[in-house]
């Protein structure tokens, strides 16, 4: 009996040889391509890193139109202030002052550093260097540092009851108020060398003469036209010893006897009117011209390359400590920033957040700062200080000394 005919499988040669059946698609094994050498990945990684490094390096060389303010160094005044000509008492502790590093910002600073560091501040370059005159700004800062040393010496010695002598070559007119008696009679740059027949050396001499008058009177001035640079600026607001507005107090200093007027002097009679508080005034702002301070001892400073007036308070505290038998800092390190005025007032400074970061880094636990700084600066500074640095606002040298004594437990 013959069975039904069954067709051979596809591909069967029909000759009885073995049949080869291809596996289903799911079981197909792909062909393996050529393996990429491992070193290729390393080469690609190195090239990428080189490109990124090159971009970063290039960005560090590209200057922007902004100035970068960042935390600078912290320096101790111990060893930087030297007193001679009297008995001194070397500081056992130290009074530190902080600096702010200032330079033109690069693209690297703005792109890579700015998002990671909240102590950096960027300011348009034309706001820092008007007219692009960096040399003039640097020179002004150097002069401000020199002035701060002089004022610090005077204030410290007066605080300790030491006598300081001032001499000058007259009274410079800094500014004349519009529609006041002196308007049209005097101008900025004029030098007053006499008043009512008495020679003028200091602004105090002029103030003393005006105090003997009343509104409605007049004063006869001896004036050298253009005898003082118009760039002369007042050194203070109270007119005491270092210049200021035409409103001082009598400090008992002697005046020179009347002298004959020289050929280059001109006589000008200026009427006086009442100021808001009733004092007789001409309506001028004045400053001591060629002011010279004679100290009873020698005080020298080593400020290095630091410029600006903000170390004034620290210099003053250092001198007081050097000349005080009882150690002011009691072996501890405290920091201070602020200008110092002729009357011992602590004046404002810039860069408080940056200076606070530097002080914290230096490990000082007390940081004396001027009273009345911008609220946003103070808030940021306190955030930076955290629990490690105690920021204390002071308005005067006396307050600063009291705060230090309280801190050290004196």
> What does the alpha-carbon distance between residue 247 and residue 281 come to, in Å, rounded to a whole number?
7
Q: pLDDT value at position 128?
A: 77
Give CA–CA dist 77/331, Å, rounded: 13
Rounded CA-CA distance 188/91 in Å is: 45
Tell me if 259 sits within 8 A of 194, measured CB to CB. Answer: yes
The confidence score (pLDDT) of residue 183 equals 94
pLDDT in tens, the chain (410 residues): 444 444 444 444 445 444 444 444 545 555 555 676 766 566 666 666 766 666 566 555 677 778 888 998 999 999 899 999 999 998 889 999 999 988 887 877 777 776 777 788 888 888 877 777 778 888 888 888 988 999 999 999 999 999 998 888 999 998 899 999 999 999 999 999 999 999 999 888 998 999 889 999 999 999 999 888 654 444 433 333 333 333 333 333 333 333 444 558 899 999 999 988 788 999 998 888 988 889 999 999 999 989 889 999 999 999 999 999 988 999 999 999 999 988 899 999 989 999 999 999 999 999 999 999 999 999 999 999 999 999 999 999 999 999 999 999 85
Place of tokens 């005067």: 396
The pLDDT, as a whole number, for residue 11 is 47
- Residue 248 has a pLDDT of 32
pTM over 0.75: no
Closest CA to 351 of 69, 163, 123, 107: 69
pLDDT computed for residue 125 by the predictor: 81
**Main-chain phi, psi angles of 218, to 5 degrees:** -135, 165
**Residue (of 289, 176, 281, 284) closest to 219 by Cα position:** 281
331: left (phi over 0), alpha (psi -120 to 50) or beta: left
At 237 the pLDDT is: 31
Residues of the chain with CATH 2.30.42.10: 165-293
Architecture of domain 66-162+297-408: 2-Layer Sandwich (3.30)
Given strand 366-370, what is the order of strands in its sheet?
121-124, 63-76, 94-106, 333-336, 366-370, 390-394
Cα separation of 105 and 153, whole Å?
Answer: 36
Beta strands in 259-320 (DSSP E): 266-271, 273-274, 280-281, 284-288, 292-294, 298-301
Give span(s): CATH 3.30.230, the chain.
66-162+297-408
Superfamily of domain 165-293: PDZ domain (2.30.42.10)
Is there a contact between 243 and 206 (Cβ–Cβ < 8 Å)? no
Please, what's the b/e burial string for 226-247 (b: 16 or more CB within 10 A of its CB; e: otherwise)? ebbeeebebbbebbbbbbbbbb
For residues 26 and 272, give the distance between their C-alpha atoms in angstroms, rounded to a whole number.
Answer: 111
Residue 36 confidence (pLDDT):
61
pLDDT number for residue 255: 35
Q: Are the beta carbons of 272 and 218 closer than 8 angstroms?
A: yes
| Angle subtended by helix axes 134-159 and 312-322, to nearest 10 | 30
């Amino acid at each position: 009996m013959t069975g039904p005919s069954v067709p051979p499988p596809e591909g069967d040669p029909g000759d009885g040889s073995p049949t080869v059946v291809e596996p289903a698609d799911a079981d197909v094994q792909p062909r393996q391509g050529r393996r990429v050498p491992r070193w290729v990945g390393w080469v690609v990684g190195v090239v990428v890193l080189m490109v990124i490094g090159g971009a970063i390096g290039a960005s560090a060389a590209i200057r922007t139109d902004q100035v970068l303010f960042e935390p600078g160094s912290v320096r101790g005044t111990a060893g930087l202030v030297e007193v001679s000509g009297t008995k001194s008492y070397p500081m056992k502790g130290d009074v530190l002052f902080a600096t702010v590093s200032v330079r033109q910002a690069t693209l690297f600073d703005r792109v890579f550093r700015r998002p990671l560091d909240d102590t950096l501040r960027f300011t348009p370059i034309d706001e820092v260097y008007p007219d692009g005159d960096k040399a003039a700004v640097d020179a002004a800062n150097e002069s401000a540092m020199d002035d701060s040393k002089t004022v610090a010496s005077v204030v410290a010695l007066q605080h300790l009851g030491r006598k300081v002598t001032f001499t000058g070559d007259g009274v410079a007119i800094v500014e004349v108020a519009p529609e006041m008696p002196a308007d049209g009679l005097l101008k900025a740059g004029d030098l007053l060398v006499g008043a009512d027949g008495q020679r003028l050396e200091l602004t105090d001499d002029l103030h003393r003469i005006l105090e003997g008058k009343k509104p409605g009177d007049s004063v006869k001035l001896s004036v050298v036209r253009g005898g003082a640079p118009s760039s002369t600026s007042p050194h203070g607001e109270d007119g005491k010893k270092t210049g200021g507005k035409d409103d001082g107090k009598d400090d008992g200093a002697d005046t020179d006897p009347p002298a004959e007027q020289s050929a280059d002097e001109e006589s000008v009679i200026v009427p006086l009117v009442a100021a808001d508080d009733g004092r007789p005034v001409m309506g001028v702002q004045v400053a001591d011209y060629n002011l010279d301070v004679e100290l009873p001892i020698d005080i020298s400073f080593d400020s290095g390359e630091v410029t600006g007036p903000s170390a004034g308070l620290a210099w003053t505290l250092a001198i007081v400590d050097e000349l005080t038998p009882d150690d002011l800092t009691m072996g501890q390190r405290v920091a201070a920033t602020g200008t110092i005025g002729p009357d011992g007032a602590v004046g404002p400074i810039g860069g408080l957040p940056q200076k606070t970061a530097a002080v914290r880094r230096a490990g000082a636990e007390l940081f004396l700062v001027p009273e009345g700084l911008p609220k946003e600066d103070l808030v940021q500074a306190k955030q930076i200080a955290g629990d490690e640095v105690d920021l204390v606002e002071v308005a005067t040298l006396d307050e600063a000394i009291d705060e230090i004594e309280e801190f050290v437990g004196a």
